Amino acid sequence: MTSSREKEITTLIQRCKEDAERKDETLERRGIEIMGKKEVLNVYRLPIKSLRYNIRNGRFAAELRAVEAKEGRKLDTNDPDDAAIVKKILREQSKEETQFLKKDLKQKGQIDPGLITHDGHVINGNRRMAIFELLYEEEPDPKFEFLDVQVLPKSVSPKDLWRIEAGLQLSRDKRLDYSPVNQLLKIEEGIKAGLKPEEIAKSFYGKVTRKNIVDDLERLKLMKEYLNYVEKPDDLKLADRLDNHFINLQKQIQKLQRKGVTKSDTNKAIVLGYEIILGGVRHLDVRHLAEVILSDRASDGIERALDEPDELDAEESPVDEALEAGELDGAESEEEAEGESLSSDSLEFSKRRGKAKRIVEEYKNALDVVDFERSREEPGKLIRKAIDAIESIDKESHHILRAEVKRDLKELAERVMEFLELIEKGSQKG
């Protein structure tokens, strides 16, 4: 059955053909691979008002999910209000690139054609269409009302549609790069369309293997589990900003699995990874997580910290925590956030962040232990580190008067004396 949208596009194409024939002109033709074969399709200049943004455009998948979660519904670009939301996402996704492309389109016009489905949904060219509309708003020149496009046949399957889009956008460095999480979501979309990992690998530019694709899908799963863990399941942009953390966490988990650790210890490593990421650890420090898990001495304090209840960080206000987590829209400082109300969800998240930060402190201590264990055959190096640690203590600090500090210093002195006696005995025997 032919839809009204398809009929409209068919009519517009026919007009383009008739105009070219009347002017004794030849329509431009460009090659494109469809279903594994090289096809040559006409290029038509169609009015933008008759086209529709591709709601499943891979370049802004994470941003779209966040908006749809906030709206509580799926967007439909047939609705002018929803189309305006998508247009805004496209223009603001990379403001620098938008300004560059805007200037380029205004000065040179459209060089490469876009690509649309038989019913007018834009597969390639969404950003250009959004910028043409912006140019028309600023300067109502008729040339900004049209987009040059090729039209895919109705017979194109979801698999081929994915391959075409990936081939046009993921394999050309001249295109706006996909963000890390959007690339992962695009791979997931290919799997859902029925493609195998090895088929997806062939669609990427460069030496991409089946294993690379499988690893990418596993990392996306890890990201989604983390977002569920911190009770922010729709905030994929948060995971996007933490891409390097998850790359390193995934490698650490794989390292533990190669060493044959139990499933329980693997799960413990994942939970610890989630907590230190939430607590703001540097992504480089995640690289040593497997060593911490494999060291009984290093992981002892962490296990106790993981069992502690959630509570707010005494040194940071709930507003600070909410600002850092992006809970207060539009507010960039505590002053701007004054008067904003924190939801119970925000307060709970702040409590979780407070606990996670304490776990990060224990994790840093564990990294020191791991470092010491690596240097156990170099006693001079370890002693030098101990001296440096002592010398770095602020002797004027009121914290030095705490009972636990005195206790720990006394224990340190006793251990140093025991160690000296042991060395003396060894020297006498020698």
CB atoms within 10 A of CB 146: 19
- pLDDT of amino acid 193: 92
Beta carbons of 91 and 98 less than 8 angstroms apart? yes
Question: What's the rounded mean pLDDT across residues 197-205?
Answer: 85
Question: What's the rounded mean pLDDT across residues 337-344?
Answer: 43
- pLDDT of amino acid 333: 43
pLDDT above 90 covers a percentage of the chain that reads 53
> Is residue 339 predicted with pLDDT exceeding 50?
no
Lowest mean pLDDT among 195-199, 264-268, 303-307: 303-307
> Is residue 267 predicted with pLDDT exceeding 60?
yes
- pLDDT of amino acid 205: 64
- CA dist., res. 362 & res. 276, Å (int): 10
- pLDDT of amino acid 414: 85
- CA dist., res. 145 & res. 133, Å (int): 7
Q: Which residues of 304-323 are buried (b: 16+ CB within 10 A; e: fewer)?
A: ebbeeeeebbeeeebbbbbb
Where do the structural domains in the chain lie, given as residue ranges?
1-156, 172-241, 243-334+342-392, 395-430
- pLDDT of amino acid 376: 67
Question: What's the rounded mean pLDDT across residues 29-38?
Answer: 87
Tell me the pLDDT tens digit for each residue of 122-149. 999 999 999 999 999 999 999 999 999 9
- CA dist., res. 205 & res. 15, Å (int): 38
Question: What's the rounded mean pLDDT across residues 328-341?
Answer: 41
Question: What's the rounded mean pLDDT across residues 178-192?
Answer: 91
Q: What's the mean per-residue pLDDT of the chain?
A: 85
Question: What's the rounded mean pLDDT across residues 188-198?
Answer: 94
* pLDDT tier, 393 (very low <50, low <70, confident <90, very high otherwise): confident
- pLDDT of amino acid 175: 44
Bridge partner list, 46:
147
- CA dist., res. 361 & res. 315, Å (int): 14
- pLDDT of amino acid 405: 80
* pLDDT tier, 420 (very low <50, low <70, confident <90, very high otherwise): confident
- CA dist., res. 109 & res. 91, Å (int): 18
- CA dist., res. 353 & res. 141, Å (int): 52
Q: What's the chain's length in residues? A: 430
* Dihedral Cα 272, 275, 279, 280, nearest 10 deg: 70
> Is residue 211 predicted with pLDDT exceeding 90?
yes
pLDDT above 70 covers a percentage of the chain that reads 85
* pLDDT tier, 120 (very low <50, low <70, confident <90, very high otherwise): very high
Tell me the pLDDT tens digit for each residue of 40-83. 999 999 999 999 999 888 888 899 988 998 889 999 999 999 99
From 128, 123, 132, 190, select the one nearest 151 (Cα to Cα). Answer: 123
Lowest mean pLDDT among 202-211, 241-250, 310-319: 310-319
> Is residue 423 predicted with pLDDT exceeding 90?
no
> Is residue 332 predicted with pLDDT exceeding 90?
no
